[in-house]
A and B are shown apart, each in its own frame.
Chain A
Amino acid sequence: MTFSTDIETLAPATDAEIGEKASAGRPVPVAVISAITITAIIGVWALASYYALVSPVFLPSPRQVVIALYNLIVTGFVDATLAEHVGASLYRIFGALIASILIGIPAGIAIGTSRVGRGILDPIVEFLRPLPPLAYLPLIIIWVGIGEASKITVIALSMLPSIILSTSAGVRSVSKDHVNAARSLGATRRQVLAEVVLPSAVPSILTGVRIALGAGWTTLVAAELVAATSGIGFMIQSAAQFLVTDIVIAGIVVIALIAILLEFLARLIERRLVPWAAHR
């Protein structure tokens, strides 16, 4: 999915007018521009802290953050190393992912294939979808307690809508010819579902899983800020209470890196599992 909507690609003729040098060489790759941007931001940050423009309590230097990160990895913070905090978070998100897949895919199939299923489940999904997960976190804590179960439940709930909706959309997008072909080749209803409808829906389901991971990660960190005794969100929250800003920033960087990594993995799996999706 690399649809370029660059103005440059859309209207190359205007390049000169915009003022870009009409140099003979190749245009600078986007990745290089991005790298320069990141370097510049870190540079400004370093200068700001070097000249003490901002109090180090608010903005520690990049060096301090790197040191904090190192210390986090080696000795840890609030009774756990970085790996343990990240592990606790990943455990929750993958636990929630499995739960939401186990519930979401059958629910999506029910919505996509049956009028009754749609009638029953649609309102529930539509109610759940726009709700910020933290809005129902207190209720979940009342119901299932403060432990792991409440966090996994909340994260799973935040992932469910996108998995359900992507599954039902995938199921409904099945080609009519594909279904008819199977029926004319002797497939029973159940076989049509298992051999045609489900495989057709896999690309859409994987996209849903990828989106769900993003939503789940956001919810996870937020839930850990509010109610947890381990995990990357909890680590940041604790550090903030003691004004250990370098750890807060290091934690934020780690959260972002993991989010990027999850997205990358999900895309890799999509490409491996459904290479045909681009050729329908």
Chain B
Amino acid sequence: MSILTFRDVSLRYPPQPGRKGAVEKRVLDGINLQVASDELVAVIGRSGSGKTSLLNLAAGFLAPSAGTITVDGVPVRGPGADRAVVFQDDALYPWLDALNNVAFPLKLKGVPLAERRARAQALLDRVGLADAGDRNIWELSGGMRQRVGIARALAAEPRFLLLDEPLGALDALTRTRMQEFLLRIKAESGAGALLITHSIEEALLLGTRVVVLSPNPGRLTAEIEAGFNAEVRAGASVAAVKASPLFKRMHAGLTGLIHSGDDEELAA
């Protein structure tokens, strides 16, 4: 059991050089958050509220201006394979085929060729792409690419999956299927997950917990436990769960919290 912890984390971007009267931008302020291995914490917030910044801090791409981020008590000092990131626009390597993209983290670790191919193939099997190994990345659909990206992250055997709107670019039907898929994969992998999303519905459906990030500066203003992902994993259909009165009530409550007036995407 691992725990990813944000303690009093703040992030300021320095002022843009050259711009007159520029001030540093306070993006995140006093963030306290924990993600455990058995959790999927969904972060929702308006565009520009600092969600990606939060994830980049967890990934180690950014260093906090104040506060600490730790994994099992050890401060995060930079990116590492214990926190594998899945990017919104997949960030797969077009010069590698699907199999070698998945095998990439194993290659970095020096796993011998035959073994890493076998392990990458097993991961492709798991994400339902058993036959896609020799396909070029640009020949894959958006949903397939995201599955390759997730398989690649899993190959690193991370303690945490950091997912920045991994389903944001997908059409509604594919997205629903991918939501079920994400839940299954997350549970099987035993990794904790931090999921950034624009969609309240997705956050409620997938998150064991949902936290709301309010902008200017980004603060965590609400945190709710959501049990719907357990229902889905227990076999309930996604459509039925979404139609339940409790789901609708929580959805409405979260929508109010984010007072989404100027952001139509949040209503989705």
Residues in A lying within 8 Å of B, measured CB to CB = 175, 177-178, 180-188, 191, 195-196, 199-200, 202, 274-276, 279-280
Contact = CB atoms under 8 A, between A and B. Distances in A.
B78 A183 contact: yes
Contact of B81 (A175, A185, A276, A280): A185
Contacts of B61: 180, 183-184
B123 to A, nearest CB: 13
Contacts of A202: 95
22 contacts: A177-B89, A178-B91, A178-B93, A180-B79, A180-B87, A181-B152, A183-B61, A184-B60, A184-B80, A185-B81, A185-B84, A185-B108, A185-B152, A187-B108, A191-B108, A195-B104, A195-B107, A196-B93, A199-B95, A202-B95, A274-B95, A276-B137
Given A186-B105, A276-B136, A181 B85 contact: yes
Q: Which of B81, B104, B152 has the most CB of A within 10 A?
A: B104
Contact of A185 (B78, B95, B156): B156
Given A196-B93, A276-B94, A276-B136, A182 B60 contact: no
Contacts of A275: 136
A274 B136 CA distance: 12
A186 B89 contact: no
Interface of B: 59-61, 78-81, 83-85, 87, 89, 91, 93-95, 104-105, 107-109, 136-138, 152-153, 155-156, 162
A21 B59 CA distance: 64
Contacts of A182: 104, 108
A195 B108 contact: yes
Contacts of B59: 180, 184
A276 B152 contact: no
Residue with the highest number of chain B CB atoms closer than 10 Å, among A186, A275, A276, A280 = A186
A184 B162 contact: yes
B79 A183 contact: yes
Contact of B91 (A180, A188, A274): A180
Contacts of B80: 184, 186
Nearest to B82: A186
Contacts of A279: 94, 136-138
A184 B83 contact: yes
6 closest A-B pairs by beta carbon, nearest first, are A186-B81, A279-B138, A183-B79, A276-B94, A177-B91, A185-B105
Given A177-B87, A180-B79, A180-B85, A185 B94 contact: no
Contacts of A280: 94
A182 B109 CA distance: 12
A263 B78 CA distance: 45
Contacts of A276: 94-95, 136-138
A279 B136 CA distance: 10
Contacts of A181: 85, 87, 91, 152
Nearest to B96: A199
Nearest to B79: A183
A199 B84 contact: no
A175 B136 contact: no
A175 B104 contact: no
Nearest to A175: B91
Contacts of A187: 108
A275 B137 CA distance: 11
B112 to A, nearest CB: 16
B160 to A, nearest CB: 10
Given A178-B93, A185-B104, A195-B108, 6 more contacts: A181-B152, A184-B79, A184-B156, A191-B108, A196-B93, A199-B93
Contacts of A185: 81, 84, 104-105, 108, 152-153, 155-156
A276 B135 CA distance: 12
B193 to A, nearest CB: 14
Tell me which of A185, A186, A195 has the highest count of chain B C-beta atoms within 10 A of its own C-beta. Answer: A185
Nearest to A200: B95
B140 to A, nearest CB: 11
Contacts of A175: 91
Contact of B84 (A177, A184, A188, A195): A184
